[in-house]
Amino acid sequence: MSANVNVNLLTPEFILAGMGLLVLSLDLVLPKARRGILPWIGVAGLIAAVATALIYRWDRVEELYGGVFIADRYSLFFFAFLVILGGAVMIASVDYVKQHIKFPGEYYGILIFSILGMVLMASAGELLTAYIAMELLSFSLYVLVALRKYDSKSNESAAKYILLGAFSSAIMLYGISMVWGVTGTTFYDGIAAHLTANPDLDIGLIVGLSLIVAGLGFKVAAVPFHMWAPDVYEGAPTPVTAYLAIGSKAAAFALILRLFSEGLLPAIEDWRVLIATLAAATMVLGNLVAIRQENIKRMLAYSSIGQVGYLLLGVASLGVVDAGGAVVFSERASTGIMVHLVGYAVANLAAFLVVAVVYSRTGSDQISDYRGLAKKSPYLSLVLSVALFSLAGLPFFAGFVTKFYLFTAGAEAGFLWLSGLAMVASLVSLYYYLRVIQRAYVDQPSEGDEETAVERSTFFVPLTSWLMLGVLFVGMILIGVWPTELAAAADSASDALGTVRDVSTALVR
């Protein structure tokens, strides 16, 4: 077996790692007043990394170290998406960090490392590499969540996150070892080959795969592994919450998508009902509990749990069994997942950014404090409404098209009932989103009401946040009315997943 060691292929990843180190160490030498430049250095590095990757890997399909690292259109799609997303979070947090966080160097440096972890999760072709990449992401997130260390809420949420995160990582690792014990490989294609050769699942494999699903379920906060999410989301600094809700989920789905379509697809009959059940539970519970929330961050946390349900619906629909009984990979489902991830990321980031800006003016995250927002800042409330409408899946905005794509794929794979349930869950979500919008736009103070935090505060939106919100606003509408290019890119990424690269050597490993 001649392992390919074309290390040049990893240049974009090296750039990311180098940028992380650079930002961390610049923090030490730069005088305090000049540290405002750090995020922009980081963003420049991220742009360089994306550019390098796009130029260098555009038409390249290669495996590194015998399939540990895969460079194909799929990796490239997620490289571009995740790094841009990380950059957007970085820009979105500039104003917040300036005001609330004492260690900008650590914040931005660790953020870049977590981005590196995310892109590796998408390119990993093997379970252990994926696991290590995921840990790089998780450890970065542990630190980021705890970064407001003088705030007891931040501390509490960090402690919860670390304990449960470590626990779930251990579970997943145990699952990986069991899968290795049965199949003798941790490579996705090796697992696929084993599953094809032995259609009757070994009990050890079932346990192992279930443990892996549980571990991943924790990372994406799928019911019943979601308990940590609302507390952590509430306590973490708001940009970090956004990052948790978007970035870490997107990366986990990048991993899940590759694992399930390249590794576990032959056994789809055995797991699709399980995943569909998880999806149903997740979308129903997440959206129902969100109704009761008074804190907007908790509400968005539950709503993002609901969104995970929709994405899991896509995962359950990844394979269609054709007339001959053979499993056919459904490109539509994987494209649907990718498109929905992008739409969800843009809308959710916009919503969280509004929450962050409001928080830095008012110091409150209570929904009841949002009364009067439309009067104080029409811009913020416009973006917030559009973001919430997009999350609810109303047309004109990204959410409608992406959900339509995803649900169509679900219906095609025979999950019409689940698609229907997802629509009903969206209706529930529309109800609690509308309550926020009503609060911001419609509600008037009646006599005897105290002024809300928003009404008391003087309002202005810092320039960086203003611009970022503008970009996200345009993004939501652009995806909503012209998703053609995005869908084409996701399609070509799905193509890469559907192609079996070279499994002749898979069993030898």
Partner 1 sequence: MDRFDELILTIITALPFAAALALLLWPGERPKQWKYFSLLIAFASAVLSLYVLLQYNQHFGSADEKYQFVNQWEWLPSLGISFHVGVDGISAVMIFMTGIVYVAAMLMTWSTDRRVRDYLILLHVLTGGVYGTFVSIDLFFLFFFYEIAVLPMFLLIAFWGSSSENLRVYLAGWRTNFGRTKEYGAMKLVIFLVAGSIVIWIALLAIYVESGANSFDLIELQKTGYGDVFARVFFPFLMLGFGLLAGLWPLHTWSPDGHVAAPTSVSMLHAGVLMKLGAYGIIRVGVEVLPNGAQDWGMVLVILGTINIVYGAVSALSQRDLKYMIGYSSVSHMGYVMVGIGTLSSIGMSGAVLQMFAHGVMTALFFTLVGFIYEKSHSRSFGSDGEIESGVSINALNGLAKVMPVGSFMFAIAGLASLGLPGLSGFVAELLVFIGLFQTYPWAGVLAVVGAAITAIYILRLMAMVFFGTPDKRWANLPDIAMPQRITGVILIASMFTIGLMPFYFLELIDSSVELIGAIAR
Interface with partner 1 (CB under 8 A): 331-332, 335, 389, 394-396, 400-401, 404-405, 407-408, 411-412, 416, 419-420, 423-424, 426-427, 430-431, 434, 437-438, 441-442, 483-484, 487-488, 491
Q: Which residues have CB under 8 Å from 463's CB, separation 6+?
A: none
Phi, psi of 128 (to 5 degrees): -70, -40
Contact between residue 182 and residue 160 where contact means Cβ atoms under 8 Å apart: no
Phi, psi of 70 (to 5 degrees): -115, 125
Contact between residue 361 and residue 318 where contact means Cβ atoms under 8 Å apart: no
Among 100, 89, 92, smallest CA distance to 466 is for 92
Contact between residue 447 and residue 351 where contact means Cβ atoms under 8 Å apart: no
Question: CB of 119: closest distance to partner 1 in angstroms?
Answer: 25
Coil, strand or helix: which one is 327? strand
For partner 1, the closer of residues 300 and 440 by Cβ is: 440
Q: Which residues of 43-73 are buried (b: 16+ CB within 10 A; e: fewer)?
A: bebbeebbebbeeebeeeeebbebbbbbbbb
d(CA 374, CA 295): 19
For partner 1, the closer of residues 51 and 328 by Cβ is: 328
Question: CB of 380: closest distance to partner 1 in angstroms?
Answer: 14
For partner 1, the closer of residues 449 and 502 by Cβ is: 449
Question: CB of 433: closest distance to partner 1 in angstroms?
Answer: 10
For partner 1, the closer of residues 235 and 410 by Cβ is: 410
Question: CB of 432: closest distance to partner 1 in angstroms?
Answer: 11
Q: For residue 245, how many C-alpha atoms fall within 13 Å in the half-sphere facing its CB?
A: 36
Identify the residue whose tokens are 């609302």: 230
H/E element holding 71? Answer: strand 69-71
For partner 1, the closer of residues 224 and 378 by Cβ is: 378
Phi, psi of 69 (to 5 degrees): -120, 125
Question: CB of 200: closest distance to partner 1 in angstroms?
Answer: 31
- E-strand stretches of 125-228: none
Question: CB of 419: closest distance to partner 1 in angstroms?
Answer: 6
Question: CB of 497: closest distance to partner 1 in angstroms?
Answer: 15
d(CA 308, CA 67): 29
The amino acid that residue 60 corresponds to is: R
For partner 1, the closer of residues 246 and 333 by Cβ is: 333
Question: CB of 376: closest distance to partner 1 in angstroms?
Answer: 14
The amino acid that residue 442 corresponds to is: V
Distances 460 to 248, 436, 463 between C-alpha atoms, Å:
30, 20, 9
Question: What tokens does 346 get?
Answer: 């843009």
For partner 1, the closer of residues 69 and 407 by Cβ is: 407
Among 498, 349, 336, 469, smallest CA distance to 405 is for 336
For partner 1, the closer of residues 123 and 429 by Cβ is: 429
Question: CB of 358: closest distance to partner 1 in angstroms?
Answer: 20
Question: CB of 420: closest distance to partner 1 in angstroms?
Answer: 5
For partner 1, the closer of residues 420 and 445 by Cβ is: 420
Coil, strand or helix: which one is 333? helix
For partner 1, the closer of residues 268 and 437 by Cβ is: 437
How is residue 227 annotated by DSSP? T
